[in-house]
Amino acid sequence: MLDRELTDKAEAFLKCKFDEAIYLNEHPDAKAYRIEHTYRVANIGREIAQKEGFNETEMVIACLLHDISYCEEFEESGWVEHGRRAAIIARPFLTELGLAEDRVNDICYGIAIHVDDKADFDGERTPFALSVGDADNIDRFDVYRIHETLCGDGFLGMTFEEKLQYCRKRLARLRELIDMQMGTKTAGELWRSRLSFYVSFYEKLAGQLERSERVLG
């Protein structure tokens, strides 16, 4: 059961921090993306929590705050620290919510390790903590991201051969990733479903390209 009072407070805290961020307010597209991504991750996290028997409220809060450090400005090379920075920002707020110390630490540990699997404080790699990063990674392979990636990589401007090689490289990488270990059975199922969809899409795209230059056979 979701405690809306607590999750509403987490949403308000997140939006307040983002509203105070100079960079995000100067780049409204980036701000909108970060908020939309955060909600998607929270919904994925909630699904994992429901099926795995975790506390839904705690998981949704952890996911809502996993990228809160984007309220700060950092160089591209500092991106790897954003999970640890988010945990630092989140901890006092979580304590003020009245959550038990061990739950605050589990939430913060999941937030801290979601980027590069490292934290700057002691914690345990519980299935709950791992699920924050799992939800974040699963969202990287949603339907809209296909469009976004193709546009960002300049797919339409590529030559025919470049497009074909692009698809083949994507397929090779996706097939490597599909069996990546997740923290729970539910996350594993969601991950494989998303990756299978991607594989199917790029197989069809590559097949269409292969049929666009010559008669096969």
- Kindly state whether residues 15 and 121 are assigned to the same domain: yes
On whether the CB atoms of residues 23 and 73 are closer than 8 A, the answer is yes
Q: Given CA atoms 100, 102, 108, 111 in this order, what sign does their dihedral have?
A: negative
Question: What's residue 211's pLDDT?
Answer: 87
- Give the whole-angstrom CA distance, residue 60 versus residue 20: 22
SS3 label, residue 24: helix
The pair of three-digit structure tokens given for residue 116, joined into one six-digit string: 């590069």
Rounded-to-integer distance, Cα 63 and Cα 59, Å: 6
Where in the sequence is the domain holding 49, given as residue range(s)?
4-139
Are residues 109 and 150 located together in one domain of the fold?
Answer: no
The verdict on 76 and 24 lying in the same domain is yes
Tokens (6 digits) for 93: 């707020």
- Which token pair is 17? 């921090």
> In this structure, are 179 and 82 located in the same domain?
no
In total, how many domains does the chain have?
2
CATH of the domain at 78: 1.10.3210.10
Please report whether residue 195 resides in a domain: yes
Which of residues 123, 139, 155 is at a domain's end? 139
Q: Are residues 85 and 18 in the same domain?
A: yes
Q: Domain for residue 99, yes or no? A: yes
Tens-of-pLDDT digits for all 217 residues of the chain?
899 999 999 999 999 999 999 989 999 999 999 999 999 999 999 999 999 999 999 999 999 999 999 998 877 667 788 999 999 999 999 999 999 999 999 999 999 999 999 999 999 999 999 999 999 999 999 898 999 999 999 999 999 999 999 999 999 999 999 999 999 999 999 999 999 999 999 999 999 998 887 776 6
Task: Give yes or no: residues 61 and 8 share one domain.
Answer: yes
Examine residue 215 and state whether it is found in any structural domain, yes or no.
no
pTM of whole model > 0.85?
Answer: yes
Distance CA 111, CA 81 (A): 11
CB-CB contact of 71 with 89 (8 Å):
yes
Question: Are 70 and 21 contacting, i.e. CB atoms less than 8 angstroms apart?
Answer: yes
Based on the fold, state whether residues 91 and 181 are members of the same structural domain: no
Residue 180 and residue 121 in one domain: no
Structure tokens at 27: 């780049």
Of 139, 162, 194, the position where a domain reaches its end is: 139
